[in-house]
């Protein structure tokens, strides 16, 4: 799930961009755990880097960037995610993919497990148990709902992307960001900022740093965000054509939602499915947008939530068993569609 963040309100206490050597908001966050994290990364000789289930470019970009650095330092490294069984096609040009292993090939015991862009342990799916068998665990993330489930937690809730947190970590570590690392970090930055719409002071400085290594930012963005098969268009027609607006929901702010039934999604990739929320959320009459995605023709629904400004959908998602960011979150629900929608309306009216 691509989970962009809305910018934080500007206050006079925020440092100016020129104060940030890193070029990212992450650089302004104090975190005493950063030094401990670097010690853990330096001393581990075997490391598993875990990305979240249904991986997006932020978790994969973060995982492969960190994995590549560790591999160059001589560590044995595996990078993995629990589901689905293969990497989304849009990410098949990312450097460092040789580090990826299938979920069932992930080492049982390593010195260190690092999780990237996972707000909670359950976002690791079946690979969550690797946290228990490792000597230590390090959580690197930017979700405000992060549950701090690692031995050491580097969680910068104001960072644009987890790759921005990784960039800051590499700077503190003294690791030079070359073109391959920049490609990976840019992949997470461009997707989690919605192509630099949800930006803040420092976001473009980090982008500039990464682009200055010679990477082709336009190509990376097009490959990750703007490439769909023709079948995407009739799916959009069917799904958007049955979208529903509930003006009274969310205490009068309005809810718009669309449903992607399994039959609508046949033959389409996660890239096409995940694109729908970005169209639905533009509806001017609704503060909150939702897309309900049926799983395997059954009664389980993965729900993506977005809000414009007022509603904290992270809290709404948490109340329904999920998590995320203030303006972008998600959860999984089981039951009849009408009941799932009713439960969402209920959670929105009490938020
Ligand atoms: Mn992210």
Q: How far is the CA of 160 from the centre of ligand 1 (A)?
A: 8
For the segment 190-224, what is each residue's pLDDT rounded down to a tens digit?
Answer: 999 999 998 999 999 999 999 999 999 999 999 99
For the segment 23-79, what is each residue's pLDDT rounded down to a tens digit?
Answer: 455 555 556 799 999 999 999 999 999 999 999 999 999 999 999 999 999 999 999
What is the predicted pLDDT for the residue at 6?
39
3-state secondary structure (DSSP) of residue 246: strand
Q: What distances in angstroms separate CA 53 from CA 46, 77, 103, 149, 202, one per listed residue?
A: 22, 19, 11, 16, 29
Q: How far is the CA of 2 from the centre of ligand 1 (A)?
A: 7
Q: How far is the CA of 55 from the centre of ligand 1 (A)?
A: 10
For the segment 159-188, what is each residue's pLDDT rounded down to a tens digit?
Answer: 999 999 999 999 999 999 999 999 999 999
3-state secondary structure (DSSP) of residue 244: strand
Report CA 41 to chain centroid distance, whole Å. Answer: 22
- 281 within 8 A of 311, measured Cβ to Cβ: no
Q: Which residue has the tokens 């203030």?
A: 326
Strand 152-155's sheet: what is its strand order?
76-80, 46-51, 112-116, 136-141, 152-155
Q: Rounded to an integer, what distance in angstroms lies between the CA atom of residue 126 and that of residue 130? A: 9
Q: What distances in angstroms separate CA 45 from CA 69, 75, 175, one per listed residue?
A: 13, 5, 18
This prediction has a pTM of 0.87
pLDDT at 236 over 70: yes
For the beta carbon of residue 16, count every other beta carbon within 10 angstroms.
9
Q: How far is the CA of 336 from the centre of ligand 1 (A)?
A: 30
What is the predicted pLDDT for the residue at 144?
87
Tokens matching residue 3: 């989970």
Let me know how many helices (H) and strands (E) the chain has, helices first.
11, 11
| CA-based nearest residue to 158, from 288, 36, 11 | 11
- DSSP string across 317-334: HHHTT-EE-SSEEEEEEE
Least confident of 3-7, 61-65, 184-188, 226-230: 3-7
What is the predicted pLDDT for the residue at 26?
55
- 328 within 8 A of 338, measured Cβ to Cβ: no
Q: How far is the CA of 3 from the centre of ligand 1 (A)?
A: 6
Q: Please, what is the average pLDDT of the chain?
A: 91
CA atoms within 13 A on the CB side of 317: 33
- 252 within 8 A of 310, measured Cβ to Cβ: no
Residues, Cβ < 5 Å to ion ligand 1: 58, 117, 162, 192
Q: How far is the CA of 116 from the centre of ligand 1 (A)?
A: 8
Q: How far is the CA of 225 from the centre of ligand 1 (A)?
A: 15
pLDDT, average across residues 74-102 = 97
């Amino acid at each position: 799930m691509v989970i962009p963040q809305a910018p934080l309100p500007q206050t006079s206490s925020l440092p100016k961009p020129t104060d940030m050597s890193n070029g990212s908001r992450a650089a302004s966050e104090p975190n005493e755990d950063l030094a401990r994290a670097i010690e853990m990364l330096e001393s581990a000789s075997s490391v598993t880097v875990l990305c979240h289930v249904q991986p997006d470019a932020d978790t994969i970009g973060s995982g492969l960037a960190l994995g590549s650095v560790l591999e160059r330092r001589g560590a044995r490294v595996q990078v993995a995610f629990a589901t689905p069984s293969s990497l989304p096609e849009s990410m098949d040009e990312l450097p460092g993919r040789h580090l990826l292993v299938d979920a069932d090939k992930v080492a049982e015991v390593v010195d260190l497990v690092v999780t990237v862009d996972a707000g909670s342990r359950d976002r690791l799916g079946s690979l969550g148990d690797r946290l228990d068998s490792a000597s230590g665990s390090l959580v690197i993330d930017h979700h405000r709902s992060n549950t701090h489930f690692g031995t050491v937690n580097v969680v910068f809730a104001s960072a644009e992307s987890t790759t921005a947190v990784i960039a800051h970590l590499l700077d503190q570590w003294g690791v030079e960001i070359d073109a391959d690392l920049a490609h990976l970090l840019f992949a997470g930055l461009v997707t989690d900022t919605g192509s630099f719409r949800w930006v803040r002071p420092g976001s473009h400085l980090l982008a500039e740093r990464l682009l200055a290594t010679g990477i082709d930012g336009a190509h990376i963005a097009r490959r990750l965000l703007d490439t769909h098969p023709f079948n995407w268009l009739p799916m959009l027609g069917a799904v958007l054509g049955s979208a529903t607006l509930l003006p009274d929901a969310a205490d009068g702010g309005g809810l718009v939602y669309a449903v992607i039934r399994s039959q609508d999604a046949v033959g389409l990739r996660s890239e096409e499915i995940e694109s729908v929320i970005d169209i639905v959320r533009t509806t001017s009459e609704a503060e909150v947008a939702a897309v309900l995605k049926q799983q395997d023709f059954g009664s389980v629904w993965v729900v993506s939530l977005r809000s414009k400004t007022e509603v904290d959908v992270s809290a709404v998602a948490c109340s329904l068993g999920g998590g995320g960011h203030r303006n972008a979150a998600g959860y999984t629900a089981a039951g009849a569609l009408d009941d799932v929608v009713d439960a969402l309306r209920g959670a929105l009216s009490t938020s």
